[in-house]
Each structure stands twice: as structure tokens, then as C-alpha cells.
Amino acid sequence: MRSKELVRELLEIVARCGVEVRHEQGRFRGGYCLLRRRPVIVLNRALPPEQLQYILAEALQHLPLEQVPMKPAVRAWLEAFRQPPHGKQGSNVSSVAVDRHERG
């Protein structure tokens, strides 16, 4: 699964969770925040899918995903992302990992 496809899948998961996504312009990276006590994910529209996938994965860590339907390969990618390498937050997983899982 390519980064663009992964971003599309992650955005669908966010929608299933009922969280608003805002695509904005500016000098920021993006991420999860509360706006008027409502969860919002803000994405910088200038960023490529290769960066957006990690921003979305970080944001999804704030949401309960156990019961949210998603493709097994996407769930595996998110779980791999949540495993911090050497004590750091977020791993260096790639969309290649999704490809490998789907072929499994």
C-alpha cells in the first residue's frame, strides 16, 4: 500500500471516529488538538502523503481504535507505529510494512 492510499485509509478511520479533519495552509506540521472541547486533526495541505501518514498515526493514538473497523494491514501498520523503538515515541515504520503484511 502506497503512502497516498494509506493516508486515505487513515482519514476514513478518523471519519469513523467522528473527528473533524481540517486541511489548512501555513507554517505548521499538524496534528491532534481540541478546539472548543472537540477533537480536531489539523493537517498542513502542503505536506506530502509520506509525512501526512505519520501525522495521522500520531493523532490516532489519541482515539480509541479497538472497535473501529479497518483493514488488517492498516491496523498492523498502526500497531507497529505505536511500538516505540529504543524508548522513542512513534516508530520508523513505512508503507512497505503494509505491503509485506498484505502479501503475508
This prediction has a pTM of: 0.78
Number of domains the chain is built from: 1
**Which residue range forms the structural domain that includes residue 70?**
3-16+48-103
Cα(65)–Cα(67) distance, rounded to whole angstroms?
Answer: 6
Nearest CA to 72 out of 7, 4, 9 is that of 9
What pLDDT is stored for residue 71 in this prediction?
96
R_g (Cα) of the chain, nearest Å: 13
Residue 28 lies in a domain: no
Residue 40 lies in a domain: no
Residue 35 lies in a domain: no
Residue 7 lies in a domain: yes
Q: Which helix (H) or strand (E) holds 97?
A: helix 95-103
Residue 86 lies in a domain: yes
The predicted-structure confidence for 16-64, as pLDDT tens digits, reads as follows 999 999 999 999 999 999 999 999 999 999 999 999 999 999 999 999 9
The predicted-structure confidence for 52-82, as pLDDT tens digits, reads as follows 999 999 999 999 999 999 999 999 999 999 8
Residue 74: burial class (beta carbons within 10 Å; 0-12, 13-18, 19+): buried
